[in-house]
Structure 1
Amino acid sequence: MITHLHTLSGHQNPIYALANSNKMGAFFSAGNDKGVVEWSLETMSFAKIILPVQSSVYALHIYKDLLFIAQRSGLIQVFDLLEQKVKATLSHHQKGVFDVKTIAYKNEIISTGEDGTVAVWSLNDFSLLYNFPVIQNTVRTIALNKNEKEVALGCKDGIIRIYNSEDYALIKELAGHQFAVTALQYSPDDTYLISGSRDAQLKIWNLPDYNLLETVPAHMFSVYAIVFHPTLPYFATCSQDKSIKLWDSRNFKLYKILSLEKNTPGHSHSINKLIWSYDGKYLISTGDDRQVMVWELIP
């Protein structure tokens, strides 16, 4: 079903962030070694360093021809992929920025991180529109539902906070995890929200009421990413326990474990990030071992 295809080497330090390119067959990676790298899926090789950065990159986010580069310094650089230059630098956060998302219907960008605040920026001129505090410490991850009207924030206190994106009013708090919430995704059909945590569990929250539907003991340590396949009923998770797992997104059955401990190819350290390629043919993983692995999905 899913097999190791290629390992891409070149980063000198742990990698924290991945994002698909604005063009098919390419993607970006970045982490603790001061550069954002472009890779080719067509040649399975290094393409170029697109931008040097001054501090570690914790998140990458693509929107149209813009790449948002969120850094440990608190800055977010906006890189124009067509013009190949930095278009703006967003400065508000006092500590590292862990996640960035766009809310297209409002033409806004939202960011959050270690300072526990959410900043809302204009996509028109990249000005700071407003900001608000969420908790006293880290907000790790952001998820948007299908129509982008609800924003879920995964927080260090183990609580998921749901906001209305129209006015950023707090709708609901979901208390289910024992430790920090480190991964969040709404299902593509908007029937549930799935969360992962340092408690190594996945929790399935039924929509629209956010009632807890199911708890899945998914990994041995922190769950760092949850990614739904773009067309097929699967999602993948990765963890500090050095494993990738493939799940059925309808009944949450475990299909496959990719791990050195299970005698498959795999990462030797914590896996920090996953993405699917746009066409869903490849799953891409990376982490503390400085390797980028490409896995091929054969339905």
Structure 2
Amino acid sequence: MLTHLHTLSGHQNPIYALSDGLDPNTFYSAGNDKGVVEWSLERMAFVKVLVPVQSSVYALHRFENLLFIAQRSGVITVFDTVENVIRATLSFHKRAVFDLKTIAHKQELISTGEDGNVAVWSLKDYSLLYNFNVINDTLRVIAVSNDETEVALGCKDGVIRIYNSSDFAFQRQFTGHKMPVTSLQYAPMGTFLVSGGRDAQLKFWNLPGYELQNQVGAHMFSIYGIAFHPSAPYFATCSQDKSIKLWSSEDLKLYKILSLEKRTEGHFHSINKLMWSKDGRYLISTGDDRQVMIWRFQS
């Protein structure tokens, strides 16, 4: 179902972030290096350093032709991938920014990170529209519901907090994990939210009420990524335990483990991020070993 196709090297330090490109054959990676790198899936090769940055990059997020680059310094760089220019520099967070998401119908960008604050930015003129404090500690991840009506925040205290996207009014909270929430994703079918934590657990929350539906001891250490296949009923997870796992999104059956310990190809250090190509043909993973690995998917 997943077989190793290619390993891309070139980064000199750990990699924390991936993003797809406007071109379906292009994707981006970034981390402790001083630049965002563009890669070609068509040629399985390095293309160029897209844009230099001043500090480590913890998140990348693309919306249309704009690539948002979240940095350890708290700065968010807005880069136009068509014109190849920096459109704006967003400054509000005083500490590292860990995640970025857009609410397309409102033309808004949401950011959060180590300062425990959420900032809401206009995609029209890049102004700061609104900000609020959630906790006095790290907010690691953001997930936006499929209909864009709700925003879920995964917090260091193990709590998942839900806000209404129309006015960011608080709606509910529930204890998701015994340790920090490190990954969060709404299922494409719109029936549940899945969370992963430093406690190595995956938890599945029914929608719309967010009742705990199921939980799985999925990994040995922190779960850093959850990615649903764009068309097939599967999702992948990655972990600090250096493994990637492929699951059924219908019955949560475990189909595949990719790990050096299981004598497959794999990463030799923490896997920090993974994503699917737009056409679902490839899974892309990266982490502390400075490698970007491409896996071919066949159902």
Name the TM tier (shorter chain): over 0.9
2:19 is aligned to 19
Alignment of 1:180-195 (within 5 A): 180-195=180-195
1:175 pairs with 2:179: no
What is the number of equivalent residue pairs in this alignment? 299
1:224 is aligned to 224
Aligned counterparts of 2:48 and 2:264: Cα–Cα separation in 1: 30
SS in 1 for 2:33: coil
Alignment of 1:147-162 (within 5 A): 147-162=147-162
Whether the aligned pair in 1 keeps the contact of 2:187 and 2:193 (CA below 8 Å) is yes
2:54 is aligned to 54
1:213 pairs with 2:218: no
Write the letter of the residue equivalent to 1:264: T
Q: TM-score, normalised by structure 2?
A: 1.00
Whether the aligned pair in 1 keeps the contact of 2:176 and 2:195 (CA below 8 Å) is no
SS in 2 for 1:105: helix
**1:189 Cα deviation from its structure 2 partner:** 1.1
Q: How many percent of aligned residue pairs carry the same amino acid?
A: 68
Aligned counterparts of 1:53 and 1:268: Cα–Cα separation in 2: 27
1:131 is aligned to 131
Write the letter of the residue equivalent to 1:24: P
1:35 is aligned to 35
2:266 is aligned to 266
Aligned counterparts of 2:279 and 2:148: Cα–Cα separation in 1: 22
**1:24 Cα deviation from its structure 2 partner:** 1.4
Could you list the runs of 5+ residues in structure 2 that have no partner in the other structure?
none
**1:176 Cα deviation from its structure 2 partner:** 2.9
2:234 is aligned to 234
Aligned counterparts of 2:57 and 2:190: Cα–Cα separation in 1: 30
1:3 is aligned to 3
2:105 is aligned to 105
Could you give the per-residue CA deviations for residues 132-181 of structure 1, whole angstroms, max 9, x where no partner exists? Answer: 00000100000011111000000000000000000101111011310000
1:142 is aligned to 142
SS in 2 for 1:261: helix
1:257 pairs with 2:257: yes
SS in 2 for 1:171: strand
Could you give the per-residue CA deviations for residues 36-69 of structure 1, whole angstroms, max 9, x where no partner exists? Answer: 0000000000000010100000000000000000
Could you give the per-residue CA deviations for residues 261-298 of structure 1, whole angstroms, max 9, x where no partner exists? Answer: 00000000000000000000000000000000000001
SS in 1 for 2:29: strand
Write the letter of the residue equivalent to 2:21: S
Aligned counterparts of 2:43 and 2:68: Cα–Cα separation in 1: 25
Could you list the runs of 5+ residues in structure 1 that have no partner in the other structure?
none
Aligned counterparts of 1:282 and 1:129: Cα–Cα separation in 2: 37
SS in 1 for 2:48: strand
Write the letter of the residue equivalent to 2:213: L
- Structure 1 residue ranges (4+ consecutive) displaced by more than 6 angstroms after TM superposition: none
SS in 1 for 2:261: helix
